[in-house]
Amino acid sequence: MGDETKFSVEQPLQLDAEEQVGGEEAVQVAQVPGHLLQGNFFGSTRKLLPSLDRERGSYGLKESVLATCLVDALGMSRESEDARRLFNWGKGGPRTGANAGNFAFVASEVCILVYLIDRKKRGKM
């Protein structure tokens, strides 16, 4: 949909963004470098301003359910350190890392680590 998005869809979204963030922040959002948008203005705007995303509904999945699905899909033990990071993503601590409190970042870190460990075990690195 990105390159095909009509102005009539983007314009109200932009106006809502300006009303919600206002002032300096609206100007900063408007000045996002073009290489970050990668030809998909609508999708990028949804990522920058998720509170204004009306296109997608909520799927009713909370982070705890997603964490359980990831642990099962990756074949991890529920007592492993990575599984505990997923289940306790919102809690800070000395071993949680810089992304504590952001489930998407914690999940991506865990997935990347599991992928790299798997590749190393198979001797592909």
Task: Give pLDDT tens digits for 35-87.
Answer: 444 555 666 666 666 666 555 555 667 888 888 988 998 888 999 988 888 89
Under DSSP, is residue 53 helix (H, G, I), strand (E, B) or coil?
Answer: coil
Highest mean pLDDT: which of 21-25, 65-69, 118-122? Answer: 65-69
Residues 6 or more apart whose Cβ sits within 8 Å of residue 26: 17, 18
71 and 114, same domain (yes or no): yes
* pLDDT tier, 89 (very low <50, low <70, confident <90, very high otherwise): confident
> Are 67 and 84 a contacting pair, CB within 8 Å?
no
* pLDDT tier, 91 (very low <50, low <70, confident <90, very high otherwise): confident
Q: What percent of the chain has pLDDT over 70?
A: 46
38 and 69, same domain (yes or no): no
67 and 117, same domain (yes or no): yes
Is 11 a member of any domain? Answer: yes
Q: How far is CA 87 from CA 76, 81, 98, 106, in A?
A: 12, 10, 16, 10
Measuring CA to CA, which residue among 51, 49, 39 is closest to residue 5? 39
In the numeric block, which tokens belong to residue 47? 């990522």
- What pLDDT score was predicted for residue 112? 85
**Global pTM value:** 0.48
The total number of structural domains in the chain stands at 2
Residue with the two structure tokens 């009713």: 60
pLDDT, mean over the chain: 68
User: Does the pLDDT at position 103 exceed 80?
Assistant: yes
Domain boundary at 52, 74, 90, which? Answer: 52
77 and 45, same domain (yes or no): no
Is 48 a member of any domain? Answer: yes
**Domain limits at 45?**
2-52
